[in-house]
Amino acid sequence: MKKQVKIYTTPICPWCFVAKNFLKKHGIPFEEIDVSKDEKAAKEMIQKSGQTGVPVIEINGKIIVGFDEKKIRKELDIK
């Protein structure tokens, strides 16, 4: 089953770059949402995660706050 991946980011977030590079390296397509430019998306991210910090990664509706490689690998079935 194809995984739906969204990543909420800002342009100055170093962990956002790490997370995006990890997904790219593993060939995982993702939708990037820049919450510094999209106030509605920022509110949506806070509502879903309870967090104001980025990155927030959503994989098939499951929220992962920050770059938690172990959780990301588990959700995406990456060994």
Q: What is the pLDDT of residues 11-60, one digit of tens each?
A: 999 999 999 999 999 999 999 999 999 999 999 999 999 999 999 999 99
Query: Higher confidence at residue 19 or residue 79?
Result: 19
Question: What pLDDT does residue 45 have?
Answer: 96
What SS3 state is found at 34? strand
- Report the C-alpha dihedral over residues 5, 28, 1, 32, rounded to 10 degrees: 20
Looking at the whole model, is its pTM more than 0.85?
Answer: yes
Give 35-74 as a 3 state SS string.
CCCCHHHHHHHHHHHCCCCCCEEEECCEEEECCCHHHHHH
Homologous superfamily in CATH for domain 5-76: Glutaredoxin (3.40.30.10)
Domain-by-domain residue ranges, the chain? 5-76
